Amino acid sequence: MYSTSSKDGTFIAYDKVGEGPPLILVEGALNDLSTTLPLAAQLKNDFTVYAYDRRGRGASGNTDPYSVERELEDLDGVIAAAGGSALVFGNCSGGVLALQAVAAGLDIAGLAMFEPPYIVPGTRYRPPDYGERLAALLASGRKEDAVEFFMRFDAVLPDEQISMVRGSPMWPALADLAPSLDNDAAVLGDSVMPPADWIASIKVPTLVVDGGNSNSWARESVRVLAESLPGGRRVTLEGHDHVLAPEALAPVMKEFFAALPAPAGE
């Protein structure tokens, strides 16, 4: 395990494997770096892969007050540890954070995202007071209810699937990560697709991936985003859904990043 300090002094833990151009993996909601390590294992022969715990998760610290800007500074700190420039992959809400990092001017040479959860108007319902209701559940210590609320109204899982997850061995770990859902809610904002002029300002080559069996709203979001980005490319993993499949995703990432100039990095 390695570590770096963010601009506000927050301890950010990361793991590093492999050899080659630096590639940073940004985890999604209810994830810590352990979630991205299987993908790192698939990529380590081609890249030096950095998997880090976002603030408030795993071994990383959590300095109040939270802001999205501080999360961007955390990623910038990992990029600095990687040599000052890097390729970046973001899973789900981690993809939204990574896209915001590109817009903020962080030195990102290429970006890949898996199903960033933007909402194309008319494709799904998300309560307009989602963030406030989630924050109220967490403030009252109802972590398990907060996870269920997220699954129902953000991940859009059916009741039977939520019940299955609640009864699984992973449930306690998900409940422990519940406070970080507040951070993801801040990153996502209202979740609506960003304005076209903002998307058009993203000049970094960007791969946007979806699963062929994923929810229709997620697939429509990926389509619209990939078509709107000046350097956007869409790839669909047929037979897969929103669950990250490293063995299917890694070859697509390798092909995409191999066509780009290597970042300075280490």
Residue 265: the pLDDT is: 57
Percent of the chain past pLDDT 90, that is, above it, reads 94
Residue 29: the pLDDT is: 96
| Cis peptide bond prior to 65, omega within 30° of 0 | yes
Q: What are the tens digits of pLDDT across the range 218-242?
A: 999 999 999 999 999 999 999 999 9
For residues 24 and 124, give the distance between their C-alpha atoms in angstroms, rounded to a whole number.
31
Instruction: Name 112's Cβ contacts closer than 8 Å, sequence gap at least 6.
Output: 87, 88, 89, 90, 206, 207, 208, 209, 253, 256, 257
The confidence band for 104, taking pLDDT boundaries of 50, 70 and 90, is very high
Q: Mean pLDDT, to the nearest integer, of 132-154?
A: 96
Residue entry with tokens 């069996």: 213
For residues 42 and 44, give the distance between their C-alpha atoms in angstroms, rounded to a whole number.
6
Instruction: Name 72's Cβ contacts closer than 8 Å, sequence gap at least 6.
Output: 97, 100, 101, 104, 106
CA 85 to chain centre: 19
User: Does the structure show a pLDDT above 80 at 59?
Assistant: yes
Return mean pLDDT, the chain. 95
User: Does the structure show a pLDDT above 80 at 54?
Assistant: yes
Q: What is the chain's Cα-based Rg?
A: 17
Report the side by side order of strands in the sheet with 48-52: 2-5, 11-18, 48-52, 22-26, 86-91, 108-114, 206-211, 232-237
Residue 202: the pLDDT is: 95
Q: Which residues pair with 15 in a beta bridge?
A: 51
User: Does the structure show a pLDDT above 90 at 185?
Assistant: yes
Residue 201: the pLDDT is: 92
Q: Residue 265 gets which letter from DSSP?
A: -
Q: Mean pLDDT, to the nearest integer, of 116-130?
A: 93
